[in-house]
Amino acid sequence: MPDPFTVAKEYGPGRGPGPISPAREALSELLGSQRLGVLASIKRDGHPHLATMSYVWDPGTRIIRITSVDGRIKTRHFRRDPRAALHVTTADYLAFAVAEGIAEVTPPSTVPGDDTGRELLAMQPLERSEDEAAYLNNMVEDRRVVIRLRVEHLYGGGLDV
């Protein structure tokens, strides 16, 4: 089966590649293959606020998890208006996926090992969480939260090259 994001074609002068519409599974795989995306929240004046963020995608629950610090602009935006989108691309930028949904912000971690701290710990690669106690203490000191984006709509596209 050919890669849904790279299908070789020949094009004549002045005629570029056409668009592709990958299947939902391919879009989910693209989300899972990347670690950085552009998170969009809505500012009070209605304009988008964009920030490059690291994230973890769980295709089974259709939840994207992002760590942040309590009180940052994006957490304030989502507490006021939970509509959100995350945009990711392939490494060559020729295809993209957008996950839209409702964001929720957990309470900040206030006690080492609380629910928020444990959720943050589960998001980290094992080598980064080897000293679990130190990690959980840092989450409290930083007042870390988890932004959960519950994906309701997943779409994307790209160029047929």
Q: How far apart are CA 34 and CA 92, in angstroms?
A: 12
34/82 same-domain check? yes
Residues 130 and 82 in one domain: no
- Residue 32 lies in domain: 1-104+150-161
Quote the CA–CA distance of 5 and 8 in Å, as a whole number: 10
Number of domains in the chain: 2
When pLDDT is cut at 50, 70 and 90, the band that residue 3 belongs to is: low
pLDDT in tens, 4-59: 555 445 656 666 776 777 788 999 999 999 999 999 999 999 999 999 999 999 99
* Mean pLDDT value of segment 56-68: 97
Same domain for 128 and 156, yes or no, is no
The CATH number of the domain holding residue 55 is: 2.30.110.10
Statement to judge: residues 133 and 155 lie in one domain: no
Considering the domain architecture, whether residues 10 and 89 belong to the same structural domain is answered as yes
CA 66, 155, 78: angle at the middle one, nearest 5? Answer: 35
What is the percent of the chain with per-residue pLDDT over 90, rounded to a whole number?
72
8 Å CB contact between 7 and 20:
yes
The pLDDT, as a whole number, for residue 94 is: 86
Which residues, at least 6 apart from 91, have a Cβ–Cβ distance to it below 8 Å?
none
DSSP 102-119: EEEEPPPP-STTSHHHHH
106 confidence band (pLDDT: 50, 70, 90): very high
The span from the CA of 28 to the CA of 25, in Å, is 5
Q: Contact, 88 vs 56, CB < 8 A?
A: no
- Is the same domain home to 125 and 160? no
Q: How far is Cα 121 from Cα 136, in angstroms, rounded to an integer?
A: 7
Torsion of CA 124, 134, 120, 30, to 10 degrees: -20
* 32 and 89, same domain (yes or no): yes
CB 103 within 8 A of CB 148: yes
84 with 24, same domain: the answer is yes
Amino acid 28: pLDDT: 95
Task: Assess whether 129 and 157 both reside in one domain.
Answer: no
Chain Cα centroid distance, residue 52: 9
Q: Do residue 21 and residue 92 come from a single domain?
A: yes
Same domain as 93, residue 115:
no
Listed residue (11, 77, 88, 10) closest to 44, CA to CA: 77
The answer on 21 and 96 residing in a single domain is yes
Q: Is the confidence at residue 102, as pLDDT, over 70? A: yes
pTM of the predicted structure, to 2 decimals: 0.85
